[in-house]
Structure 1
Amino acid sequence: MELIVCKLIKGDIRALEDLTYAKRKDFISQHKLPIDELPIISFHTEASTAPTALASLTRVAQAELLPWLPLPRFFLSASEFVESMLASLKVPVVAPVSAAMAVTALHLRLRYGERSDGLVTRRDAEVPGSVVVRPERRLDHAWMVYSTLKMGSAEADASEMCEALLAMLVEIGRKKFC
């Protein structure tokens, strides 16, 4: 962990102390949220711990290959070759993010009896006095930053979910303060 925090991201290892449960509870008790002045939404999910989640890879980005890489031409016309070449220049970058979140969610459930998104328990994600959104869909903590693969899917992707939450926040603010 020290290698990742100190060397890779050039951080301070002491900052991890602020992520402990005791420090978080202490901070929240000392810094009350202005529930009466600001509309607040608590959004929390639960990571899937099914075997498929434990064995899955998540698309986290896409890499663009250099255009001068030789690609097989086989039986394509010139225009088809150019089109296929441009399409093949983008390759997905995958990492076992969902699998890692599933493992930590399973650990939190077995050790503490709490359901979580892999990092934050559902109970701790709710701010007292806030409007709470609890989607039924199983999503882990890192879902909001994933690169979306499916276009035209019936389920909302991260950007659509953020847009809906912001619209909801504006509507709550209008009703509360107007």
Structure 2
Amino acid sequence: MPSSLPSPEPTASAASASAVARLVRGLRGLPPAEQWWGEGCAGMAGWFRAESAPTTDATARYRELYAEVRKGRPVLPMEARRHVYLLVKGLLGEELFGYLEGNQQRLERRGLETREVQVDTEASLAANIEVVRNALEDAAFFGRSVVLVGHSKGAVESLAALSMYPQLRRVVRAVVSIQAPYGGSPIAHDVMASPELRRVMDIAVPLLFYGVSKSIDDLSYPQRMEFVRRYPYPVEIPTVSLATWRDSKRSMLWPVARYMRERYGLANDGLVAAVDAEIPGSRVVRLDDMDHAEAAMAGLPGLANYRPGDITEAAVALALES
């Protein structure tokens, strides 16, 4: 005879497992745009352009440098060896195999001194700004000049440190910002604006990555608007920003890129709208065939169009021309 005992209450671990399962399902691809509710972040992408210094299109020059790099020809100026290159990883960078390794190894093969800034890639923006600040203060103490190379959230943290601490700007020779969600990220915004997905992130990010969900919330549009308006980026620092997009089923980020394109009509790299990666006052490189993963991780043959080392070498050469 079936038992009439009531079902036990779910344990905390069971609730966490359920939340993780929902997260994993969600990461397989966002639903079609028409199934989403509310206004989302329509009209917010590129919000800062009307309030900021204009950019300069350096795409043609970048392509010239990139072509030379691909042929194995030297493009870095003689001064390149006088600087130390600080690389800053983006969100979840510590969890991704080979992340930024190709970028760093290429610079080292060219005889340049590099260091990885030890940010916690799942920590808040405020926490990692202080880590970048400390790295720049160390360089200043030893009389070194710095080229900052940041990818995604790591670029945002690099830019933010220079915005908040004017005394550090004299140490920095140039900045290379690769696919930074400077204005915000539609994906971060929509995830954190959804009560259900936000609850999942509040549980899953600490449980799976020992981080904080604020690391995602910091990239939403309201958070970025508040920060950038309070701490505008100093346009006197020579800066190159890569703003990219890719609309191809060969991209591993195609489902997410398709969501942003269909819902908001945005050219994007799968995580960041291209317009949000154009740093005020910078020399902008606009590439229509690169997704968010290609700039920092080695792709599969036939699927990726670029190699991280080539991208970085050409971008550094461009930044040092200023």
> Partner residue of 2:276?
124
Report the 3-state secondary structure (helix = DSSP H, G, I; strand = E; otherwise coil) of the residue aligned with 1:6.
helix
Cα distance in 1 for residues equivalent to 2:266 and 2:245:
10
Contact 2:235 2:282 in 1 (8 A): yes
Report the 3-state secondary structure (helix = DSSP H, G, I; strand = E; otherwise coil) of the residue aligned with 2:222.
helix
Contact 1:118 1:141 in 2 (8 A): yes
Within the candidate set 259, 262, 266, 1:110 is matched to 262
The one-character-per-residue Cα deviations of 1:6-33 (angstroms, maximum 9, x if unpaired) are 1121011233321211111221111111
5 Å-filtered alignment, 1:131-170, equals 131-136=283-288, 138-147=289-298, 156-170=306-320
Contact 1:49 1:103 in 2 (8 A): no
Contact 1:2 1:13 in 2 (8 A): yes
Report the 3-state secondary structure (helix = DSSP H, G, I; strand = E; otherwise coil) of the residue aligned with 1:49.
coil
- Which amino acid in 1 is paired with 2:314? A
- Provide the aligned C-alpha RMSD in A: 1.9
> Partner residue of 2:242?
43
Cα distance in 2 for residues equivalent to 1:119 and 1:109:
11
- Which amino acid in 2 is paired with 1:23? Q
Pick closer, same or farther for the CA change 1:7–1:166 going to 2, 3 Å.
same
Within the candidate set 224, 241, 246, 1:24 is matched to 224
Pick closer, same or farther for the CA change 1:142–1:29 going to 2, 3 Å.
same
The one-character-per-residue Cα deviations of 1:80-125 (angstroms, maximum 9, x if unpaired) are xxxxxxxxxxxxxxxxxx1xx2111111111111110111111111
Contact 1:143 1:158 in 2 (8 A): yes
Report the 3-state secondary structure (helix = DSSP H, G, I; strand = E; otherwise coil) of the residue aligned with 1:163.
helix
1:148 Cα deviation after fit: 5.1
- Which amino acid in 1 is paired with 2:247? S
Contact 2:294 2:306 in 1 (8 A): no
- Which amino acid in 1 is paired with 2:241? S
Cα distance in 2 for residues equivalent to 1:149 and 1:116:
20
Contact 1:45 1:139 in 2 (8 A): yes
Structure 2 unaligned blocks of 5 or more: 1-200
1:145 Cα deviation after fit: 2.2
State how many pairs are aligned: 119
Larger RCO, structures 1/2 (Cα 8 Å, 6+ apart): 1
1:43 Cα deviation after fit: 0.5
Normalising by structure 2, we get a TM-score of 0.34
Structure 1 unaligned blocks of 5 or more: 54-97, 173-178
1:126 Cα deviation after fit: 0.8
Report the 3-state secondary structure (helix = DSSP H, G, I; strand = E; otherwise coil) of the residue aligned with 1:161.
helix
Report the 3-state secondary structure (helix = DSSP H, G, I; strand = E; otherwise coil) of the residue aligned with 2:279.
coil
Cα distance in 2 for residues equivalent to 1:156 and 1:166:
16
> Partner residue of 2:211?
11
The one-character-per-residue Cα deviations of 1:137-178 (angstroms, maximum 9, x if unpaired) are x1111112222555xxxx651101101100110111xxxxxx
Contact 2:295 2:306 in 1 (8 A): no
- Which amino acid in 2 is paired with 1:41? V
Contact 1:45 1:117 in 2 (8 A): yes
Pick closer, same or farther for the CA change 1:118–1:149 going to 2, 3 Å.
closer
The share of aligned pairs that are identical, in percent, is 33
> Partner residue of 1:76?
none
